[in-house]
Amino acid sequence: MKDLTTGKEGRRILNFALPMLFGNIFQQLYNVVDSIIVGKVLGDQALAAVGANFPFIFALISFVVGIAIGATVIISQYFGAKQMDNVKKTIDTLYIFMFFASIFLTVAGIWLSDYVFRLIDLPDDVTPLAIEYFNVYAIGFIFFFGFQGTSAILRGLGDSKTPVYFLVISTIMNIILDVIFVVVFKWGIIGVAAATVIAQAGAFFTIIWYLNKFHSFMEFSPLKMKFDLNIFKKSLRIGLPSGIQQTFVALGFLALYRIVNIFGVPTIAAYSIAMRIDSFAVMPAMNFSAAISTFVGQNIGANKFDRIGRGMKSTLLMLNSISITISIIAVIFAGPLMNMFTNSPEVIEIGKQYVYIVTPFYIVFSTMFVFNGVLRGAGATFVPMIITILALWAIRLPTSWLLSMNIGSTGIWWGIPIAWGFGVVCSYLYYMSGKWKKKAVVKHDTIND
């Protein structure tokens, strides 16, 4: 476990973020290899089917992930205040909630999959593939939530390294199984989903084995766990806005997919590839945002508000430098990046337009995520929720639809950076108001400015 309430702020945040970034690079490497295998071996229809699953799966898991974010904030603040009994209660409560949520979402997702894919007007030759993929993938929700819950707990305690080790092993296993199931066994899109489920199960069981063997405080023992209603209410207060935010974002992605689907399989495939590139490019923003959330949570718990501003400035400097570098590389190598996934000239050309329009604005996205990370770590999740929902539903979707009707598929892409710009301005204004400082779970008589 790592105490983030002492030491040089920027160095502490960097050291905490790097292991998560390294782990997610491996995770996204799997997604890239997965898409390359699907696109090159199974074709554009299968690639479109896998891509269409992303917003649906995101919609299903987003609410639960939001609650987990709330629990992470509570754990980090209790840990900063050295209230270890409350830390343990929060851990037990999160595990119990995640278990029942995973069962519910597996059943609900399989029941809804056919309806959802037809609702977003997925092409007829893609829909059956998308349903086949999802119905296998959903079996792994219980393992996915188990691993993600454990990772969230460890991050709240300041340990960003341990989950990475098991994530790397899982990723390597996933890639190997992808090749075996799809290339060797010829299982098609079902093989892609099966490989993911097996890898997720492996990650969950191995990290639980590790915790039980080496960290008695974190011992995973389902029969001894106790659900604390008071802790859960606090998790809901902080996590519910994040859960609602994530859900609306996911539904927004589904709505955006409906716009994309109007332009046919090549555009769907190009968008699926572009999302893979995006997932790599925005990783630093997400990881540094998670790092500064834990940093802020622990320092609020320790009543060291003076460290938060310095930590935020250091994070902005580091992250924006990374974002500019990624943007330049993506624009220069847009063609080769798209060609990795498909042999279709039409898909490549559409994907290149996405890269040219969206990637120069990664710095805006990164800045927005740093502000939101600070606010989330403080427990101030309601206003960021409103900002995110407005940015997506009032700005991105209407703008993308209107522009696409006038200038084609490139209009869809322009809606993305426009919405980011709105989000970063609103998040900055709320941060500057200082009202977020009063949202902490751990209360102090005085607040340092």
* 3-state DSSP percent of the chain in helix, strand and coil, to 5: 85, 0, 15
Helix axes 9-37, 306-332, angle to 10 degrees: 30
Q: What pLDDT is recorded for position 314?
A: 93
- As given in the structure block, the two tokens for residue 96 are 């119990």
The amino acid that residue 28 corresponds to is Q
Helix (H, G, I), strand (E, B) or coil at 244: helix
Higher pLDDT among residues 98 and 69, named by residue: 98
What pLDDT does residue 447 have? 47
Q: Look at residues 226, 233, 238, 234 and name the one whose alpha carbon lies nearest to residue 92.
A: 226
178 contacts 191 by C-beta, under 8 angstroms: yes
Nearest of 365, 335, 332, 360 to residue 350 by alpha carbon: 335
Q: Residue 444: inside a domain, yes or no?
A: no
Q: What is the pLDDT of residue 4?
A: 72
Residue 44, CB-side half-sphere exposure with 13 Å CA sphere: 18
Find, among 320, 338, 316, 340, the residue nearest to 328 by Cα.
320
Establish if 2 belongs to a structural domain: no
Question: In 3D, which of 233, 237, 244, 232 has the Cα closest to residue 66?
Answer: 244
Is there a domain that residue 448 lies in?
no
Q: Is residue 3 part of a domain?
A: no
Q: How many Cβ atoms are within 10 Å of 401's Cβ, its own excluded?
A: 17
pLDDT grade for 442, boundaries at 50, 70 and 90: low
258-317 pLDDT, tens digit each: 899 889 888 988 888 888 788 778 888 988 998 898 888 888 877 888 898 899 999 999
Q: For the purposes of burial, counting CB atoms within 10 Å of the CB of 227, is it exposed (0-12), middle (13-18) or buried (19 or more)?
A: middle
Full residue range of the structural domain in which residue 26 is found: 9-438
Residue appearing with tokens 């305690």? 157
User: Looking at the domain assignment, is residue 1 inside a domain?
Assistant: no
Q: Which of 56-65, 173-182, 355-364 has the lowest mean pLDDT?
A: 56-65
CA distances from 417 to 286, 360, 365, 374, 422 (A): 17, 9, 8, 22, 9
Fill in the DSSP letter of residue 394: I
Distance (Å) of CA 161 to CA 12, 19, 129, 287, 404: 13, 5, 37, 12, 43
CB within 8 A of 223, min separation 6: which ones?
none
AA letter at 98: M
Specify if 443 maps to a domain. Answer: no
SS3 219: coil
Q: Is residue 434 part of a domain?
A: yes
How many angstroms separate the CA atoms of 52 and 134, rounded? 10
What's the whole-number mean pLDDT along residues 201-219?
82
**Domain count across the chain:** 1
